[in-house]
Amino acid sequence: MKTMLGNMKTRTNLVTYLVVIAAFVLMQVFNSLGMLSSSQRGYLVPVCVYISLAVSLNLLVGVCGELSLGHAGFMGIGAFTGVVVAAVLKDAVAGDAVRLVLAMIAGGFTAGVMGFLIGIPVLRLRGDYLAIVTLAFGEIMKNIIGNTYAGIDGEGFHMAISTSKMKLGEGGKYIISGPLGATGVEKIATFTMGFVLVMFTLFVVLNLINSKEGRAIKAVRDNRIAAESVGINVTAFRMKAFVVSAFLAGMAGALFGLNYSSMTASKFNFNTSINILVFVVLGGMGNILGSVISAAVLYILPEAMRGLEDFRMIIYAVVLILVMLFTWSPKFKDAVSVAGDKIKGIFRKKKEVGSNE
Amino acid sequence: MQILQYLINGISIGAVYAIIALGYTMVYGIAKMLNFAHGDVIMVGAYISFCVTNYLGLPSIVSVAAAVAVCTLLGIVIEGLAYKPLRGTSSLAVLITAIGVSYFLQNAAQLIWSSSPKNFTSIVTMEPISLMDGQLVITGEVLVTVAASIVVMLGLTLFTGKTRTGKAMRAVSEDRDAAQLMGINVNQTISTTFAIGSALAAVAGVLLCSTVPTLMPTTGSMPGIRAFTAAVFGGIGSIPGAMLGGILLGIIETLSKAYLSTQFSDAIVFSVLIIILLVKPAGLLGKQVQEKV
Amino acid sequence: MKKFIALLLAAMMVMSMFAGCQSGSEQTATTAAQDQPTGEQAAADTGAAVKIGLTGPLTGGNSEYGLAVRGGMEIAVEEINAKGGLQIEFKAEDDEADGSDKAVSAYNTLKDWGMQIFAGAVTTGSALAIAAETVNDQIFMLTPSASAEDVALTGSNIYQMCFTDPNQGASAAELMSQKWPDATIGVIYDSSDPYSTGIAEGFLAKAEELGLNVAVDDAAFTADNKADLSTQVTQCKDAGCDMVFLPFYYTEAAQVLTYANTVDYHPTFFGCDGMDGILNVEGFDTTLAEGLVLMTPFDANATDEATVSFVTKYKENNDGKVPNQFAADGYDVIYALYNACVAAGIDGSTSAADACALLQEQFSTMTVDGLTGKGMTWDENGMISKAPAAVVVTDGIYVPIS
């Protein structure tokens, strides 16, 4: 029994990896054959970013059962750190790919440290209080980044939280300029790196879930008191999950930041956090493959609906509500099956009528 | 003198947060869901009131009544179509549906009323009270909003404490299954809660826009989040807590802008919130619920 | 399992949308061609229509600006296409005022449509994200309203129809030092908005140089806490300011004016081009704006023929809404591009890169008369030079300050 379960798990994990690899190969083939339009090519990197974000948030929300509303905050920290590191290392590091990896690691590291710091208070709280503290954290980050100025000149790297306090020397260049955000970013993100990031995220998250600690944390999610009574102490693991989730979000953010020539702090607001949460819930709590697919589909959905022009977002909202009802509501499913039976019944009657004639 | 004026400004915006937070906290306390569409129901209420006053030329009291009626109806429809089918499933599923409803309402408002801002005419006709040679000004809106939020708070406390429906609500809030066993119609009680919450949203919308006249399809979203914060601050589910949380949030926001930093006031407000929650994890007036084993 | 089915359904919807969009756009293109036989004939003479694209916020909190620009541009396109001769095909995409992925994606959609000239973006954030793309793609960019200096400085193919922010702030300071040299000045601005911060910084720098008396320079708010602007007004009031500089949009300005009136505070308020439109906010008591000074390139009440005709048409198309400077900038952008295209002989068959080179040549030398200024020229960076016109609101209309 135990081995069977184990096998099933490995098989699901294997399927997840294979789906991602197959999608990557397929996209690469399409791309090299010139079958992708500019906009479709443009989706490749952000889709990878959002998949990583959704998978890392699923570790928190789905597996640990902690509702976090500040994931975009970690993404933002990673994005701005990544952009700064990539700019500072421009002369020191030759290859773009190496620079990108370093920037992503730096982004992940900073976000991870922030995750640790915020994790100390956050993990004392539960449920919706945890949600509000993560929300608050996301807003604080947005506010601080939105007032940060950073730049490099002959003397090196400067950073301040007001322009008047910062004067760059001759030939200096701003990397982040307050509400204008990061400007003139060199775009070094690639789809291949996006794929690597998704694989890395999957590897880390799946291993964590299937570890002994992972099973313990699921026990805690389902019944904390029972789990504690059998001697499972999970604070350490919750912290680990929180930091890992933040780290991965930071890496994804860095990749995102380096895929565009500019970005503002307001991008990393409550709405972005909520969007990532939508991907997770729609894909299924704790279901990693579900997160991968729903992130990809839901990211492209509003883009694919551009033909609807001004009605685009309202129809997206309706689709979102309907999909939620369809996947979660017990009554709705009953109604669908009843309606299905009725339709079948009509056909049957028609047939009978037809045969009578 | 300065500080008094800032305090009054803080109470002014705080009372608006409080009245929104009352609706939030009531729905949360009983239906156990974060209704992120609450802010958008507020926006709809304000638009209805605006239309009735400006297009039909009716007195403001009629416009408020119309807003309450429309929002109550809207609340019942939203609850029936979008939330009720998901009752008993994961609370996150309902949260996401609420977000869908919020997107829907904002975009529908943009299509109906266009995205150009409208300037809401205050329903309060009272002249501002000027003290100490005009150094200190108390606007009529402040008095009316504070009075309204106190009335609503007392009303809700009495309602949940004394009436049959109110008691049923409290029972549902305490233990849904037990309430069901005692013969309480849980579904209907929750629907009633939404109707009341939405009616409150209409009042909150009118008062929000009387204080802050700009009316746009996104008007409700930021105050909605702030009010949610206020509700948690005061202890979510607690009616006096929402009131206290709202007023305090408004005062902290104003004083941090006035004396610390205008640029970082958002960060300061949310940092204070985190610190409070560290000291009192269930909010200022929230009950520390003993977990059942 | 059921979730997979649902996701699969959604995925299929995405696919069908892709297919649907393509066929849909083809259809509209053909019907448009059929509807305008004269246009088609004219186009046949000079080649196909020039494809001009715009990105701007068409949904969400900033959509009023995007919709205004789109409305202005549509009128210009209608007029031009009715004239015969060179035809324009125009398409606007929603970028949600997002400074990264959504903006680039909107731009890419236009590129797939076959856009030759880019007439966006509406907001600075989006324009910055797209600017670098246009440099790579060699597509000419003339933005109606993205006013940060960094936009034009991104590349030699990028031009602006609006004043740059620091420039506008500096003009405001100069005007104040001429007209109100002794005023005690307070500045309220939106520190989360690059437009507002850019003007405020330009203003403060120039004010220091000119020795103006700025008593309050840090009364900022953010997009998240603008529900309460009373604190900032109180700060200015307490500091004894008799001149308050409001470098932000009329939406928030209406709020400031209303509150100041409630607390019986009546300094001279001074706004920028974003202030234009305040008199047409539905439900706003325009008497509150009496004496308001603003620097606007456009006046919807002007009596010259071009403005009257534009305002009439805009109202017809937009439920009687009065156009603001965003709409006028949009209108001017299309005409400037049209004139340059005609002069350079650009038509639908010109490649985007060729058009870009030809247009750069035109824009470096040409002079344009439009709704937002006469004799407008562009400098080597692509920034516009037009006379800043300051007006004061008197009896509900703009009266120029001599």
The 3-state DSSP class for residue A70 equals coil
Our CA-based measurement puts residue B17 at a distance from the nearest CA of chain A, in whole angstroms, of: 16
User: How far is CA C118 from each of CA A304, B94, C108, C263, C370, rounded to the nearest angstrom?
Assistant: 21, 42, 11, 47, 19
ipTM of the modeled complex: 0.88
Kindly indicate the confidence band of residue C20, based on its pLDDT and cuts at 50, 70 and 90: very low
Our CA-based measurement puts residue B103 at a distance from the nearest CA of chain C, in whole angstroms, of: 9
pLDDT tens figures, A176-197? 888 888 888 888 999 999 999 9
* Residue-wise DSSP of C189-219: EETT-HHHHHHHHHHHHHHHHHT-EEEEEEE
Percent of chain B scoring above 70 in pLDDT = 97
The Cα–Cα gap between A21 and A249 comes to 21
Kindly indicate the confidence band of residue C26, based on its pLDDT and cuts at 50, 70 and 90: very low
The Cα–Cα gap between A128 and B33 comes to 10
Question: For position B73, what pLDDT does the model report?
Answer: 94
The Cα–Cα gap between C392 and C291 comes to 6
Average pLDDT over residues C214-233: 85
- Indicate if the pLDDT at residue B232 is higher than 90: no
**Residue A139 placed within a domain:** yes
- Average pLDDT taken over every residue of chain B: 88
Other residues' Cβ atoms within 10 Å of the Cβ of residue A231: 7
* Paired residues of A177 in beta bridges: A149
Question: For position A270, what pLDDT does the model report?
Answer: 87
Average pLDDT over residues A167-184: 80
Other residues' Cβ atoms within 10 Å of the Cβ of residue A119: 20
Question: For position C278, what pLDDT does the model report?
Answer: 87
Q: Peptide bond preceding C121: is omega within 30 degrees of 0, i.e. cis? A: yes
Those residues whose C-beta lies under 8 Å from the C-beta of residue A31, and which sit 6 or more positions away, are A41, A44, A191
The Cα–Cα gap between A7 and A21 comes to 21
Question: For position C43, what pLDDT does the model report?
Answer: 41
The Cα–Cα gap between C272 and A223 comes to 60
Contacts of B144 in chain C (CB under 8 A): none
For an interface test with C, the pick among A43, A143, A183 (most C C-beta atoms closer than 10 Å) comes out as A183
Please name the residue of chain A whose CA is at the shortest distance from the CA of residue B109: A314
Question: For position A50, what pLDDT does the model report?
Answer: 96
- Indicate if the pLDDT at residue C1 is higher than 60: no
Instruction: State whether A325 and B111 contact (CB < 8 Å).
Output: no
**Residue A257 placed within a domain:** yes
Q: Which of A301, A262, A291 is nearest to A184 (CA)?
A: A262
CB–CB of A71/A251 below 8 Å?
no
The Cα–Cα gap between B83 and B77 comes to 10
CB–CB of B179/B171 below 8 Å?
yes
Contacts of C59 in chain B (CB under 8 A): 107, 110
Chain A CB within 8 Å of residue C68 CB: no
Question: For position C120, what pLDDT does the model report?
Answer: 82
Chain A CB within 8 Å of residue C131 CB: yes
Question: For position A7, what pLDDT does the model report?
Answer: 64
For an interface test with A, the pick among B27, B94, B95, B106 (most A C-beta atoms closer than 10 Å) comes out as B95
Class of domain C46-163+310-385 (CATH, top level): alpha beta
Question: For position C321, what pLDDT does the model report?
Answer: 87
CB–CB of C85/C321 below 8 Å?
no
CB–CB of A181/A265 below 8 Å?
yes
Question: For position C36, what pLDDT does the model report?
Answer: 41
Residue A23 belongs to a domain with what CATH number?
A: 1.10.3470
Looking at the structure, give the CATH architecture of the domain made up of residues C166-296.
3-Layer(aba) Sandwich (3.40)
To 5 degrees, how large is the angle CA C391–CA C397–CA C401?
20
Those residues whose C-beta lies under 8 Å from the C-beta of residue B24, and which sit 6 or more positions away, are B35, B38, B197, B224, B227, B228, B231, B236, B242
pTM: 0.88
Our CA-based measurement puts residue C215 at a distance from the nearest CA of chain B, in whole angstroms, of: 15
Number of independent structural domains in chain A: 1
Q: Which of C132, C176, C21, C256 is nearest to A300 (CA)?
A: C21
Tokens of C310: 């534009």
Which residue did the predictor score with more confidence, C68 or A348?
Answer: C68
CB–CB of C262/C240 below 8 Å?
no
Give strand ranges (E) for A97-254: 149-153, 156-160, 173-177
Among the ranges given (B13-22, B274-283, C94-103, C258-267), the one the predictor scored with the smallest mean pLDDT: B274-283
CB–CB of C169/C203 below 8 Å?
yes
Average pLDDT over residues A69-78: 93
Kindly indicate the confidence band of residue A255, based on its pLDDT and cuts at 50, 70 and 90: very high
Those residues whose C-beta lies under 8 Å from the C-beta of residue C324, and which sit 6 or more positions away, are C68, C250, C276, C277, C280, C298, C300
The Cα–Cα gap between C245 and C229 comes to 14
The 3-state DSSP class for residue B36 equals coil
Kindly indicate the confidence band of residue C388, based on its pLDDT and cuts at 50, 70 and 90: confident
Q: Strand C117-118 relative to strand C213-221: parallel, antiparallel, unpaired?
A: unpaired
Max Cα separation, chain A? 95
Kindly indicate the confidence band of residue A164, based on its pLDDT and cuts at 50, 70 and 90: low
**Residue A176 placed within a domain:** no
pLDDT tens figures, C243-254? 999 999 888 888
CB–CB of C222/A143 below 8 Å?
yes
CB–CB of A216/A234 below 8 Å?
yes
Tokens of C191: 């520190």
Domain boundaries, chain C: 46-163+310-385, 166-296
Instruction: State whether C108 and A41 contact (CB < 8 Å).
Output: yes
Residue B128: phi, psi to the nearest 5?
-65, 145
> Which of B16, B120, B266 is closest, CB to CB, to C222?
B266
* Strand arrangement of the beta sheet that strand A149-153 belongs to: A156-160, A149-153, A173-177
pLDDT tens figures, C170-190? 999 999 998 898 899 999 999
CB–CB of A190/A176 below 8 Å?
no
Question: For position A350, what pLDDT does the model report?
Answer: 57
**Residue A188 placed within a domain:** yes
Q: Strand C184-190 relative to strand C213-221: parallel, antiparallel, unpaired?
A: parallel
Average pLDDT over residues B82-107: 88
- Indicate if the pLDDT at residue A353 is higher than 70: no
Percent of chain B scoring above 90 in pLDDT = 36
* Residue-wise DSSP of B96-117: HHHHHHHHHHHHHHHHHH-SS-
Question: For position A74, what pLDDT does the model report?
Answer: 94
Instruction: State whether B104 and A311 contact (CB < 8 Å).
Output: no
* Paired residues of C141 in beta bridges: C118, C158
Please name the residue of chain C whose CA is at the shortest distance from the CA of residue A292: C7
CB–CB of C176/C153 below 8 Å?
no
Question: For position C342, what pLDDT does the model report?
Answer: 92
Question: For position B250, what pLDDT does the model report?
Answer: 93
Among the ranges given (B65-69, B133-137, B251-255, C140-144), the one the predictor scored with the smallest mean pLDDT: B133-137
For an interface test with C, the pick among B115, B135, B252, B268 (most C C-beta atoms closer than 10 Å) comes out as B115
Residue B136: phi, psi to the nearest 5?
-125, 120
Kindly indicate the confidence band of residue B48, based on its pLDDT and cuts at 50, 70 and 90: very high
The Cα–Cα gap between A16 and A283 comes to 13
Percent of chain A scoring above 90 in pLDDT = 35
The Cα–Cα gap between C170 and C202 comes to 5
| DSSP symbol at A182 | B
- Indicate if the pLDDT at residue C7 is higher than 60: no
The Cα–Cα gap between C374 and C387 comes to 8
Kindly indicate the confidence band of residue C6, based on its pLDDT and cuts at 50, 70 and 90: low
Which residue did the predictor score with more confidence, A305 or A342?
Answer: A305
Q: Which of C195, C200, C227 is nearest to C326 (CA)?
A: C195
Query: Directed axis angle between helix A96-122 and helix B265-279, to 10°?
Result: 50
Q: Which of C125, C133, C50 is nearest to C95 (CA)?
A: C125
Which of B126-130, B285-289, C95-99, C232-236 is most confident? C232-236
| Alpha helix positions (H), B2-139 | 2-31, 38-54, 60-78, 91-113
Q: Strand B136-138 relative to strand B129-131: parallel, antiparallel, unpaired?
A: antiparallel
pLDDT tens figures, C55-89? 999 988 888 899 999 999 999 999 999 998 899 99
For an interface test with A, the pick among C105, C141, C150 (most A C-beta atoms closer than 10 Å) comes out as C105
**Please, which chains are in contact with C (at least 3 CB pairs closer than 8 A)?**
A, B
Which residue did the predictor score with more confidence, A212 or C213?
Answer: C213
Kindly indicate the confidence band of residue B293, based on its pLDDT and cuts at 50, 70 and 90: very low
Please indicate whether the domains covering C46-163+310-385 and C166-296 agree at the CATH topology level.
Answer: yes
Q: A137 lies in which domain range? A: 2-31+48-146+181-356
Four-point Cα dihedral C2, C8, C11, C17, nearest 10 = -100
Amino acid sitting at position C397: I
Contacts of A140 in chain B (CB under 8 A): 266-267, 270-271
Which residue did the predictor score with more confidence, B286 or A146?
Answer: A146
Average pLDDT over residues A140-146: 89
- Average pLDDT taken over every residue of chain C: 84
Percent of chain A scoring above 70 in pLDDT = 90
The Cα–Cα gap between B138 and A257 comes to 47
The 3-state DSSP class for residue C58 equals coil
Question: For position A245, what pLDDT does the model report?
Answer: 94
The Cα–Cα gap between B56 and B255 comes to 40
Which residue did the predictor score with more confidence, A309 or A144?
Answer: A144
Secondary structure (H, E, C), C266-323: CCEEEECHHHCCHHHCECCCHHHHCCCEEECCCCCCCCCHHHHHHHHHHHHHCCCCCC
Which residue did the predictor score with more confidence, A233 or C366?
Answer: C366
